[in-house]
């Protein structure tokens, strides 16, 4: 499974875990090793992220229902909390800095 930036044609992640259940969204990367996550929500919302018990920095990518990039934000271990101004249907958490700009269209297979 791959996540790609459809706008610039570059790969973003070769592997990732999909988080759809409430528990998997709550747990996220807490107490975890480095891995990429894709959060899928029922509808667009202003979902917040915290970095409590996450031991490495991540990049959070917020996407609307058309999978267009709304926000790209770097979060730091233990000290970061972020809530976007825009509503998002998807959030991608990446362990490496992505080549993504606001407005880029992202695609993956679920």
- For the segment 37-95, what is each residue's pLDDT rounded down to a tens digit? 999 999 999 999 999 999 999 999 999 999 999 999 999 999 888 999 999 999 999 99
Task: Report the number of distinct structural domains present in the chain.
Answer: 1
Distance CA 97, CA 60 (A): 10
Domain that holds residue 72: 3-107
Neighbours of 60 (CB within 10 A): 22
Report the CATH number that the domain containing residue 32 is assigned in CATH.
2.60.120.1140
Q: pLDDT at position 79, please?
A: 86
- For the segment 12-42, what is each residue's pLDDT rounded down to a tens digit? 999 999 999 888 888 888 888 999 999 999 9
Note whether 45 and 23 are within 8 A (CB).
no
Q: Give φ, ψ of 23 to 5 degrees.
A: -65, -45
Q: Which residues contact 73 (CB under 8 A, 6 or more apart)?
A: 59, 60, 62, 82, 84
Q: pLDDT at position 71, please?
A: 97
Q: pLDDT at position 110, please?
A: 67
């Amino acid at each position: 499974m791959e996540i790609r930036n459809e706008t610039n044609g570059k790969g973003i992640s070769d592997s990732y875990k999909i988080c759809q259940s409430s528990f998997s969204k709550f747990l996220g990367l807490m107490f975890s090793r480095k891995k990429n996550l894709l959060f899928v929500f029922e509808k667009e919302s202003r979902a917040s992220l915290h970095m409590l018990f996450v031991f490495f920095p991540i990049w959070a990518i917020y996407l609307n229902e058309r999978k267009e990039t709304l926000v790209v934000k770097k979060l730091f271990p233990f000290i970061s909390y972020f809530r976007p101004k825009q509503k998002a249907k998807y959030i991608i958490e990446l362990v490496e800095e992505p080549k993504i700009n606001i407005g880029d269209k992202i695609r993956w297979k679920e």
